Structure 1
């Protein structure tokens, strides 16, 4: 597993570090603890049956839901940063803004406005 310092677990929001390894791809990062927990859940019929049904937040108090909101936002911001990294990769491969926009279902201009780095790639036609 690779250390993902500066990233958080997409499930529990624990920051990755040298001591806490994260793995993942396409934006999701998962810590070893969450992997172990999900593995145990998937391979224990009783735990698996108990996990079906209500979503965890349905049993949470308003205070618990409010306390979780910053973690949700941090995960969303992390995923947005991953999207920027993927667009940067595509631009490095000379994929046009038109193609990126078409893939995202938006115009070339909308893709450029969302993903162009300030002071960096300003080409609208490349």
Structure 2
């Protein structure tokens, strides 16, 4: 990402300028505040069972709508990291089939998703299908 303004914590959704530090990994980011919370959770770990994801059918609509942009932002960050890795692999002449195998996808699927020509063709077909 080109600017800290576009980097958000993958856990709380805060932008980099809103926190002291952001730790960046491949397609994922965590702020110092979330790291501190994780440390507290780990220290307090009593060995009890781990909480499951919420039952989305029981979460109020407004809360689901509030979560959408945060999750979409995380997805964008992960997608950007994935594109960067695929671009580097292609720069190293790694075949599409090998990349697809690593991702558990077909050669055709990764070519369509990550090649500039594949994205152009997919965009044109999607635009043609809209009404």
Alignment of 1:108-119 (within 5 A): 108-117=107-116
Residue of structure 2 in register with 1:77 after alignment: 76
Q: List runs of 5+ in structure 1 lacking aligned partners.
A: 119-126
Do 1:57 and 1:65's aligned partners in 2 also have CA atoms closer than 8 Å? no
Deviation at 1:18, TM superposition (A): 8.8
Q: Cα deviations across residues 21-60 of structure 1 (Å, max 9, x unaligned)?
A: 21132322100000011111111247x86x9446467685
Higher relative contact order (CA 8 A, sep 6+): 2
Q: List runs of 5+ in structure 2 lacking aligned partners.
A: 118-131
How many residues matched? 113
Give the TM-score of the pair, scaled to structure 2.
0.70
CA 1:95/1:39 → structure 2, altered by over 3 Å: closer, same or farther?
Answer: same
* Counterpart-to-counterpart distance in 2, 1:30 and 1:116: 29
Residue of structure 2 in register with 1:27 after alignment: 27
* Counterpart-to-counterpart distance in 2, 1:40 and 1:103: 35
Which has the larger helix fraction?
Answer: 2
